[in-house]
Structure 1
Amino acid sequence: MMILPTHAAVAQNPAEIEVARGYFLKGDYERCLEACLRAKPNEKNFAAFGAMEIRVLLQTGKITEALKRSSILWRSSPDNPELALVLAQAHKANGQSVRADAMMARALAADPATPIAGESNNVVAYGELQNANGMDAKSVLTLYFEPAKKADPAGRAAYLAIGRLALECHDRQLAAENFSEGLKHFPGDSEFLLGLNQAGLALPKDLQKPDENILTYLDLALRANPKSTDALLYKADQLAGKKNYKEAKSVLDQIFAINSEHPEAWAKVAAIALLEEDASRASAALTNARKFWRNNPAVSETVGLTLAAHYRFEEALKFLRQASLEDPQSAAIRLELGSNQLRFGQIEEGWKNVEFAHEADPYNVAAFNLITLRDKIQDYPVLDKDGVRLRMSPEDMAVFGKRALETAVLAKKTLTEKYKVSLSQSVMVEMLPRQEDFAIRTFGLPGGESFLGVCFGPLITMTSPRGRLGRANWEAVLWHEMAHTITLDATRHRIPRWLSEGISVHEERQAQTGWGQGMTAEYRERFLSGKMPAILNLDESFAGPDILFGYYHASLVAEFLIERFGITSLNAFLGDLSAGKPFDQALAARTLPLAELDAEFAAYAKKTAAAYGPDLDWSPLSDEEYLSYRKDPAAWVSAHPKRYASAMMWISKLSEEKNWKQAKSELEKIIIAEPNNREPYNP
């Protein structure tokens, strides 16, 4: 059994520690600290109060004070796992990793307590210590967390620990199950609510309150605890991922109001500064992030992952390598490093790091998936020509491998010449036969059904036609992705997503009639009515339901820039981005002041939209018109010959009646009216 302090323990109402924890979970850190300081050394829950006290001090940025109190508290209960875990965090936060390791080792030397109802916290903490000491996740779950949960089903710690460990191992299903179970026992608990959001669960519609800005579990978590720095940091990360840097920085300021020394928040500030090409601000933020712990791996990891999410792989890998040096045994860091190396074309080193992560933690779902896929595709044949390497299954290679290679080579040649780019390494195209294989190679996990292909720069991943029958033209997708390779390289991955997508769709249309998105009646109406974001705000269209319109809108901007200012000007602009010039300044310098540019583009878009079936009436039929049409379709169409919706319904009726001659005649009229018809229901 666990060694207890030699002094006799005085009985105490267990509810008092829960009251203190309740204060903490609501963000009332002052009252929580007051409750902790009232605890006496001879009280049974003194170690738990001590752990809570240190958590409050760390949460509120009192890093040095946390270290001083840790030394005192450790002498009272050196073998208590819950206390040792938090005291070690306090010492690491102050850069004293050796002392932190010694504290954890002392607690691990004692046998873990047997979990019983109401007494599982220390068993869970012992498991967390074992995990920090290198025990694999599966063993920690089996030996400590699951027994604690079984013995103490009403306890909070096991649900939270299992959920968090599952998230670290990319097992979102297990994480969601345990956070959901925990929330049933502890309704409104901010940490369980945050966990559900991190596990990818959508807030049920009946719980959403749009008028109160409650749309996600994260919103509920912050409603429950507005001072949760974990939730605020997660929110800032989401905003930064959408390139909403202004709001992200505002959320980070909220964190600094609670904890001015928060290292990961300062790391996020540094990452955003790098994305905004502000090296001076990034350096200052990194200095703040490393103020107390110079070699904090979380700082380097945070910056690296943020940059990688924006495809800034060259810089991201530097930070992730540094994080790996700062914590050589971290399987999670090695996995992130390896995954991003694989995306950036550093294949051999990337697989080594993923394999390290898998061997260190066989339970990690993403590492397992990648290693399983590697073993499956490593014997796939590879064709190599003119700076393009193509990997496909033997079955696909035999059928269209040569054609795929020629398409990729032609796209590379055409686009490098047009955009004056000389690629420094070969482009690897991996066309995988199953959607699941594509998703794992691309994202590490199954999913991503909406993606046909993804480009990371020197790596293009796609599903083969066998994997997505009838969904898209694979040659057009390949051309689209190769255009991404060119524009990413031309700008050193500094091009906004919308412009890269816009150029790619534009180049599809340039390569082949029928490729790429075109004007539709819906888009026509939006352009004519001016219902579109400004050019600088186009990335917003790629973060919600407007994404399909965003692709076409962006492609029309690319077309406009080339027609109005010329390809030489566009290439110079891309070069400015590569040199680190802010996007808005570079765009204005190579084109027009932005207000004038928006006005000129709006006129161009309206002109383009108006030219789409100008003699047709694209509006849908109202209910009354539809009823009138149903009474006598032929008469209605004769009276409204330019009405597209009724014409197509009439043609369908003629086809059903096998009146092919008249159907063909009607179709020809529609085609003449708009030869480039891109409607979902078209001739």
Structure 2
Amino acid sequence: MSVPAGESEVPQARLQRRDRGDLPLKLPLLLLIAFSLAGSTPVNAVSLIEAEKLFRTGRYDECAKVATKEIETGAWGEHWTRLLIEAELAQGKYKAALTSFEQAKQRYPGSGVLHLLGRDVYRANGRVDDAAGEMKTIEALVVNVPQRFATPEGRLVLGRFFLLRGADARKVLDQFYDVVTKQHPDDADGFYATAELALEKQDAALAAQTLQKAPKDAAEDPRYHYLLARAFTDDDRARSDKALAEALKINPHHVDSLLLKADHLIDGERYGEAEDTLKQAFAVNSEEPRAWAYQAVLAHLRNDRAGEAFARQAALSRWATNPEVDHLIGRELSEKYRFAEGSTYQREALKLDPENLPVKIQLCQDLLRLGEEEEGWKLADEIFAKDGYNVVAYNLTTLRDRLAGFRTLEDAGFVVRMEAREADLYGSQVLALLRRAKETLGKRYGVTLKEPVIVEIFPQRKEFAVRTFGLPGADGLLGVCFGRVITANSPASQGETPSNWESVLWHEFCHVITLSKTHNKMPRWLSEGISVHEEGRENPSWAEAFNPRFRAMILDDTQFTPLSRLSSAFLAPKSAVHLQFAYFESALAVEFFEQRFGHDALNGVLDDLGSGMLINETLPSRTKTSLDQLDRDFTEFAHRKAKNIAPELTWEEPELPPDANAAALTTWLETHPKSFWGRKRLGAQLVAEEKWGQAKDVLEQLKGLYPEYVGAENAYVLLAKVFKETSDPTAERKVLEELAARVGNAGPAYERLMTMDEADQNWKSLAQNARHLLAINPLIPGPHRKLALAAEHLGERAEAVTAYRALAMLDTTDPAEVHYRLAKLLHEDGKRAEARREVLMALEDAPRFLDAHRLLLELVEPPVNAQPNR
């Protein structure tokens, strides 16, 4: 099975041989010969096809009646009995299915397919020992009559049997499932089995690829679309929802699809719709334990503990030791960031099935997200030892070894882990920022943290993704907070234009505060909205700019989301822009709420959430305003803000070729004089044509009309070029400082300002701009060099030493000079031993460096007031 790009191949685990006498996966020669000789049992093909269609389309009762009639009339063929049992199971008629199975196995004692189905029947009826007995029966059949498994269907049964016995998944895939899909490409069941195995091992990409190779008639099967929906759930929710719709179009009673739909609705905090979907599932099968488990989740989210306990008990009423119930409840709660509650349910599941690997994987990730690392990493090792094919376990154990080489910094209730070199370069600044955030945000929201906050910063994006989600990916995410654990990408993982790492950590630490205050019981829109809002409060340049696209989306009713449904905007965004807009709109909602009702009301909402109230209950309570009215008021507020953006401009775009010259753009503007896009293109084109005077007039006017625009080819950048080319440094500095005040990652602007500061010997400004650039990228030598120079002139010896130490790690162009200057500063600070080391390093690189020799002489001579040795 494939592993994520960039990862090593997953080692193959050996088939575990247990005392109970598991069969080796390599089958005897007799079985292989039988595969090549056996045929299938003849059945009434036309009638069976019709009956299978009834089952496939959800007409389970009709299917069962047809099958019963065929059995009663003496039709030979276990297919009819299996179809009857499956129809009874689908409707929750577990006792009837048990009766049908026990009658059938008397008639077809040699059917491995039937015995494996019998295992499910016994488990549904809570008869676990009898289910285990069916596995022993299958084992005996494999040894004594291997020809029974000679069909494609038999091979798939053997694959599932060996997986249940703990066999290596890759060997099952190679020796059974792949054989069926290659030799019988028209048999969809082989593709289904492979996809299910891939999903169980959390390899959704392989599952999707496999299903897309399935035969065309699989498109008529709800199971195909259901599996496809599962494969796309995490990475493409819109496509997943489309596949679910296809499944339910074929079979409106397909319980698996209904439950996955409910799962998606719960993710989107559309709890009422999820409840309605569960009712549809109960109408098909009132005994379905997974539906009751989801019902328990909804009760938990409503803070209905009695309802939660009732639903859980109903889920376990038939099979009291079913581990899937607690596993599902816990997994869903963890999806809601309620990791403590989720891990509690996983522990309950492990009491029922101590060797259940999916439960252990979920518990492992819950514990790591809770900061309970010792137990979490131990579980990861245990899982990988038993299932070397599990992608998540492999990734986590590999990452743990990598983390062992990180540097750990501890201070003021923080445990920060960084790659050693990065820790040396800006670890102290990370701690300083976190201390400031803790004081500022803790006071603002009335939160005192009782446990250490763990922050892990990764120089590789795939490492961040594995620590965060267990799998590579997570494109577009800069950081994630789970409560008291923060994971973040360092500037090293972000290419040439990294985001401002200070704003990222401020945002994520704000989550620590609000999640702590609410005990992780808050909707995503409010959590993200507050964090984005607080970024802009701390530093206006960190705020998200009000760009033309967002303006248009706010004024478009099909793209603007009402306040009461804002979390749904994060569920299945159409694009990265739509996801970014969800963050922007959420912050706008928090701004609206604070302006209208005050910060105390917002804190009250967080208190209510922490006590168990739902967001759509506390909002009306705290504001004395109905949800409908809040939606209308927020819409009016957002529309007003959008319309106040560049109110004197219009938004039509020039219908001209991309290479249109300034003259053509000027002519077009004669009939569209207020067009923002037209003026923007004209300003850029005038700069390209080096018509500096005309460009200056157009761009200054555009900046005045739309000062918020800092996107591509904005007026600030273009004016800076105009002023540089026309030798007007005062105007150039002013426009660059205006841009930097609006954009938190304006790296090129800071680089140009530093050049101008050094030329003007404006050391204070040079130091400040160097610090700003280090907040964007501390991994390049330029800002460290400028900061060292400025700090020396300002007499800030400690800062100069820190900057030169960083420069010594980053810059190899003139290491002797760097070590020499560092030695001088350390000597001035009375640190003679350190100074000697540095000056010797300078002389090692430049043996004829006279100033370094002079400094060394000073350092080896005893100080004037030193006491003689006695």
TM-score, normalising length: structure 2? 0.71
Q: Match for 1:507: what amino acid? A: E
Select the residue among 460, 467, 489 that pairs with 2:493.
467
Of 497, 509, 520, 2:536 maps to 509
Does 2:339 correspond to 1:309?
no
**Which residue of the other structure, out of 12, 15, 29, is the alignment partner of 2:42?**
12
> Which has the higher Rg, Structure 1 or Structure 2?
2
- Secondary structure at 1:593 match in 2: coil
Structure 2 counterpart SS, 1:391: strand
Paired residue for 2:126?
Answer: 95
| Residue of 690, 699, 716 corresponding to 1:667 | 699
Q: Distance in 2 between matches of 1:44 and 1:368?
A: 48
Question: In the superposition, relative to structure 1, how do residues 549 and 159 fare at CA in structure 2: closer, same or farther (>3 Å)?
Answer: closer
The 1:582–1:175 alpha-carbon spacing in structure 2 relative to 1, beyond 3 Å, is closer
Residue 371 and residue 115 in structure 1: after superposition, are their counterparts in 2 closer, same or farther (change >3 A)?
Answer: farther
1:143-177 deviations in whole A, cap 9, x for unaligned?
Answer: 43334445544444332222211110112233234
Does structure 1 residue 82 correspond to structure 2 residue 113? yes
Q: Among 293, 302, 315, which residue is 2:319 paired with? A: 293
Match of residue 220 from structure 1: 246
Shift of 1:127: 2.2
**Residue 526 of structure 1: how far off its partner (Å):** 5.3
Counterpart residue number, 1:334: 360
Aligned partner of 2:196 in structure 1 is 164
Provide the secondary structure at the position in 1 that maps to 2:213: helix
Rounded to whole Å, the distance in 2 between the matches of 1:180 and 1:156 is 11
Residue of 93, 110, 126 corresponding to 1:62: 93
Instruction: Give the 5 Å matches for 1:182-581.
Output: 182-184=214-216, 186-200=218-232, 216-469=242-495, 470-525=497-552, 527=554, 532-543=560-571, 544-545=573-574, 546-581=578-613
SS at match of 1:450: coil
Contact 1:116 1:151 in 2 (8 A): no
Question: Which position in structure 1 is the counterpart of 2:646?
Answer: 613
In structure 2, the partner of 1:136 is: 168
Take 2:705 and 2:119, find their aligned partners in 1: how far apart are those partners? 74
Letter in 2 for 1:536: S
AA aligned to 2:43 is: N
Distance in 2 of aligned mates of 1:370 and 1:672? 52
Q: Call closer, same or farther: CA 1:605–1:178 in 2, change over 3 Å.
A: closer
Structure-2 change in CA distance of 1:629 and 1:621 (3 Å): farther
Q: Does 1:646 align with 2:678?
A: yes
CA contact 1:118–1:154 (8 Å) conserved in 2: no
When structure 1 is superposed on structure 2, of 495-504 and 137-146 the one drifting more is 137-146
For residues 43 and 640 of structure 1, the distance between their equivalents in structure 2, rounded to whole angstroms, comes to: 81
Q: Secondary structure at the match of 1:181?
A: coil
Match of 2:625 in 1: 593
Report the AA paired with residue 434 of structure 1.
Q
Shift of 1:186: 4.1
- The amino acid of 2:123's aligned partner reads K
Greater alpha carbon shift after TM alignment, 604-613 vs 258-267? 604-613
Partners in 1 of 2:660 and 2:686 — Cα distance?
Answer: 18
Most deviating of 218-227 and 30-39: 30-39
SS of structure 1 residue aligned to 2:487: strand
The amino acid that maps onto 1:250 is D
User: How many angstroms apart in 1 are the aligned matches of 2:641 and 2:222?
Assistant: 51
| CA distance in 2 between partners of 1:539 and 1:364 (Å) | 32
Over 3 Å counting, the alpha-carbon distance change for 1:203 and 1:636 in structure 2 is closer
Residues 659 and 383 (structure 1), Cα distance of their counterparts in 2 relative to 1, 3 Å cut: farther
User: Does the aligned pair in 1 maintain the 2:297–2:308 contact within 8 Å?
Assistant: yes
How far residue 417 of structure 1 moved from its aligned partner, in angstroms, is 1.4
Asked whether the equivalents of residues 81 and 108 of structure 1 are also in contact (C-alpha less than 8 Å), the reply is: no
- Tell me the distance in 1 between the aligned counterparts of 2:185 and 2:643: 65
**Paired residue secondary structure (1:467):** helix
- Residue 268 of structure 1 and its aligned partner are, at CA, apart by 0.8
Specify every segment of 5 or more residues in structure 1 that has no aligned partner in the other structure, as ranges.
209-213
Q: Please, which runs of 5 or more residues in structure 2 have no aligned partner?
A: 1-29, 716-870
Q: Check conservation: 2:547, 2:708, Cα contact below 8 A.
A: no
Name the stretch that deviates more: 283-292 or 172-181: 172-181
Q: Residue deviations 1:444-475, cap 9 Å, x none? A: 22222121211111121121111112152222
CA distance in 2: counterparts of 1:398 and 1:157, whole angstroms: 56
In structure 2, C-alpha distance between the alignment counterparts of 1:633 and 1:182, rounded to whole Å: 54
Q: Aligned Cα RMSD in Å?
A: 3.2
Aligned equivalents of 2:713, 2:634: Cα separation in 1: 29
Provide the secondary structure at the position in 1 that maps to 2:71: coil
Q: TM-score, length-normalised on structure 1? A: 0.89
In structure 2, the CA distance between the partners of 1:622 and 1:49, relative to structure 1 (3 Å rule), is: same
**What secondary structure is seen at the aligned counterpart in 1 of 2:567?**
helix
**Secondary structure at the residue paired with 1:612?**
coil
Give the direction of change, closer, same or farther, for the CA distance of 1:238–1:115 in structure 2 (3 Å limit).
farther
Letter of the 2:599 partner, please give it. Answer: I
Relative to structure 1, the CA distance from residue 625 to residue 611 in structure 2 (aligned partners, 3 Å threshold; closer, same or farther) is: farther
Q: CA deviation at 1:81?
A: 2.1
Find the residue that maps to 2:491 and give its secondary structure.
coil
* Identical counterparts, % of pairs: 32
Q: Is the 8 A contact 1:163 1:176 kept in 2?
A: yes
Q: 1:39 to 1:12 in 2, by over 3 A?
A: farther
1:633 offset after TM fit, Å? 4.2
Structure 1 residue 617, shift from structure 2 partner: 0.5
* Cα separation, 1, equivalents of 2:488 and 2:659: 46
Aligned to 1:211: none
Checking the alignment, whether the CA contact within 8 Å between 1:51 and 1:87 is kept in structure 2 is no
Please tell me whether residue 111 in structure 1 is matched to residue 179 in structure 2. Answer: no
Q: Cα offset for 1:414?
A: 1.5
Paired residue type of 2:89:
L
- What is the CA-CA distance between 1:574 and the residue it aligns to? 0.5
Contact 2:654 2:668 in 1 (8 A): no
Q: Deviations over 1:310-360 (max 9, x none)?
A: 112121111122122222111111111111221222222122222222222
Correspondences of 1:626-637 after superposition (within 5 Å): 631=663, 633-634=665-666
CA distance in 1, matches of 2:537, 2:370: 28
Cα deviation 1:94-117 (Å, max 9, x = unaligned)? 211122112212211332666799
Partner of 2:205: 173
2:155 is the counterpart of 1:123: yes
Q: Is the 8 A contact 2:683 2:699 kept in 1?
A: yes
CA distance in structure 2 between the partners assigned to 1:149 and 1:632 by the alignment: 61
Q: CA deviation at 1:577?
A: 0.7
Corresponding letter in the other structure for 1:405: L
Distance 2:103 2:667 in 1: 93
CA distance in 1: counterparts of 2:179 and 2:131, whole angstroms:
27
Return the alpha-carbon distance in structure 2 between the equivalents of residues 474 and 242 of structure 1.
29
8 Å CA contact 1:57–1:66 kept in 2: the answer is yes
